[in-house]
Chains A and B, each alone.
Chain A
Amino acid sequence: MRYSSYRISITTAILGVALLGASQGSAVAAQTQPTAVPTAVPAAAPAPAPASADGAVSLDNTGSPENGLTPSALCIFYTRGDYVHVSSTAFEASGHGWWINGDCSATWAVVTVTLQEYYSDGSWRDKGTGQATVRSGGGSGNRATGRAGCNDATVTGWRSVVDVDLVGLIDDPGKLITSAQNISCRRY
């Protein structure tokens, strides 16, 4: 029963977003393209690490058939990611993303992992993106990887933004923003 109630509350949120005409692209722009400050430089993220613009972290998502958005047609899937880290084999920041199907009819999803580096003006700036069309589960060949080469080993804040778009279904604009990690990688 709680599961059903949850679906309904999510439905309201999705309909609200749809009626306002918000798009995934505009939502991303608000979070990742802050006002540029010429003197800003990459920096370690302060603790506790700054969260996304609205303080929310999206983990659970909903989808629906392209031919209609009714509460009974909604399905659930989950966006997953790992901690941005320095790769063991190449001097680069790396982060993975995948999805787990709850009860959606989709077989495939386009998973996009965008790595972001923290700057001294408090902004997060995109530094590398990876995308793959994968099945659910995160197993062999079913992950997307974002990569960004390091210029030096100065400790710097990194995080990833994982977006999952179900193939053949409409899904909500929620993205997973992973918690910031200060790692020995700086990219200018």
Chain B
Amino acid sequence: MFAALHGELALHPWRGPAVTADAYSLFVARSSAMGWLTPPAENAPDGLWGMNDAGYDPGSGSPPSRIAWFQVSLTGSVSPGRPLPVQPFLACADAVVARIGTARVQAVQVLLPVQSLDTSATAALLQDAGWFADRDPRSKTRVRVTLDGGQQLSVRSVAPAMLRRIQELKQDVFACDTFSLTDHDALAFEPAIIDQLWCGPPGHKSTFRGTLAEWSLTALGWLASFLADASYRHGVSTPLMLTASPETAG
């Protein structure tokens, strides 16, 4: 998995030039502490991912500029009935960025390894949705979410069925009302990774619009897992690049 956070980051004032920790070491430390990190050794205790790389580079790229990025390898297969671990992945990224500064995330890009799914995780996702119950109603945010299959066409052909399925399920984390095959997030045309890591270059896209329970990396993690599951259920078996942003962010 790969995630890039875009927006603004004000570094904590105590983080001077002599800091010893960076996004990489903080991500390793946090995911190790939470039991999510699988050490790179035979017979190591199972976590969710193995560390690849990370960096923070506020101000890079065209607006909204990239704040930080994280890359991991899923270790082993996703447990039957469990979604892609995007929620803990983004939770870890969120914790790391908060350690570095105060962030205002305006967009996220996540590479979803849908090909790693062997079973549907709808039941688990509906249970996990309980976290967002009884929230402040004012936290609802209109979002635009683009799924890009790169050179694989399938995400376009399954978009109508995905919309129907999302609307049928009894969840109120993401109320999806439309999809488009032509009107996409501009950031989706600039993936942060090389083509060889997925089915790049960018190509076949579907963009879903709706209301998310809250604009947070926790909710975006759930949404990303949810859309990966819906894609899998409708036959997508290749990586998808997800780009999400609030509609008001332009």
Residues of chain A whose beta carbon lies under 8 Å from any beta carbon of chain B: 48-49, 51, 57, 59, 81-83, 85-91, 94, 96, 135, 137-140, 142-143, 150, 153, 160, 176, 178-179, 181, 184-185
Contact = CB atoms under 8 A, between A and B. Distances in A.
Contact of B192 (A85, A88, A142, A143): A88
| Interface secondary structure of A, over-half rule | loop
A138 B25 contact: yes
B249 interface: no
B134 interface: no
Which of B2, B20, B40, B52 has the most chain A CB within a 10 Å cutoff? B40
Interface in B63-102: 69, 71, 73, 75
Contacts, number: 85
A140 B21 contact: yes
A91 B200 CA distance: 13
Interface of B: 2, 19-22, 24-25, 28, 39-44, 50-53, 69, 71, 73, 75, 192-194, 196-197
A59 B41 contact: yes
Contacts of A181: 50, 73
A137 B21 CA distance: 8
A140 B41 contact: no
A39 B164 CA distance: 54
23 contacts: A57-B41, A57-B42, A82-B28, A82-B51, A83-B50, A83-B51, A85-B53, A85-B71, A86-B194, A87-B53, A88-B2, A88-B71, A88-B194, A88-B197, A96-B53, A137-B20, A138-B25, A139-B19, A140-B20, A140-B21, A140-B22, A179-B42, A184-B196
